[in-house]
């Protein structure tokens, strides 16, 4: 079985956003495998600003999206399984791509975690959440919705 194309698409769209001066955001399905600030989660979703100005040590590998960011002035390490990423989009234009949620395919966290951002100032990460009515679909075509 071949590897998922999702992490490659995430990296490509992140690069496209930054190359064009846009702010990349991701929508994440939150479950027991995600390590995000729960106070910003609504209806099992969180929207995260992953721009270089809002994150520290951003890493998008084939299994995890991880970084450090400040939420309400407090540095937090964020860990999201790539399978839980629902979409990536440019805040300014809404252009991006939606993905199927791939639950149950979460590997263990790597032993090395991002360096704490406590020694270097980083911009506050913007967190917001859309208000979906239903959990992610089990099948069908991916869809993308504009989140403002």
Inside any domain, residue 118:
no
Q: Is 63 part of a structural domain of the chain?
A: yes
pTM: 0.71
In a domain, 44, yes or no: yes
pLDDT confidence of residue 142:
58
pLDDT per residue over 33-71, tens digit each? 999 999 999 999 999 999 999 999 999 999 999 999 999
Average pLDDT of span 27-33: 96
Residue 89 lies in a domain: yes
Whole domain around residue 38: which residue ranges?
Answer: 6-105
Residue 144 lies in a domain: no
Residue 86 sits in a domain of what CATH number?
Answer: 2.30.30.220
Structural domains in the chain (count): 1
Concatenate the DSSP letters of all residues of the chain into one string.
-PPPSHHHHHHHHHHHHHHTT--EEEEEE--TT-BS-GGG-BTTEEEEE--TTT-EEEEE-SSEEEEEEEETTEEEEEEEEGGGEEEEEETTT--EEE----TT-PPPPPS--PPPGGGS--PBPPEE----SSPPPSSS--------
Instruction: Report if residue 101 sits inside a domain.
Output: yes
């Amino acid at each position: 079985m071949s590897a998922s194309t999702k992490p490659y698409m995430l990296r490509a769209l992140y690069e496209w956003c930054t190359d064009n001066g846009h702010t990349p955001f991701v929508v994440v399905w939150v479950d027991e495998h995600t390590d995000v600030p729960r106070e910003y989660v609504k209806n099992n979703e969180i929207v995260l600003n992953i721009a270089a100005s809002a994150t520290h040590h951003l890493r998008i590998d084939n299994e995890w999206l991880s970084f450090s960011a400040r939420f309400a002035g407090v540095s937090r390490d964020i860990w999201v399984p790539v399978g839980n990423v629902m979409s990536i989009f440019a805040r300014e234009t809404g252009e991006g791509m939606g993905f199927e949620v791939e639950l149950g395919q979460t590997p263990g966290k790597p032993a090395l975690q991002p360096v704490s951002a406590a020694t270097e100032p980083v911009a506050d990460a913007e967190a917001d959440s859309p208000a979906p009515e239903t959990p992610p679909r089990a099948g069908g075509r991916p869809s993308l919705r504009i989140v403002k």
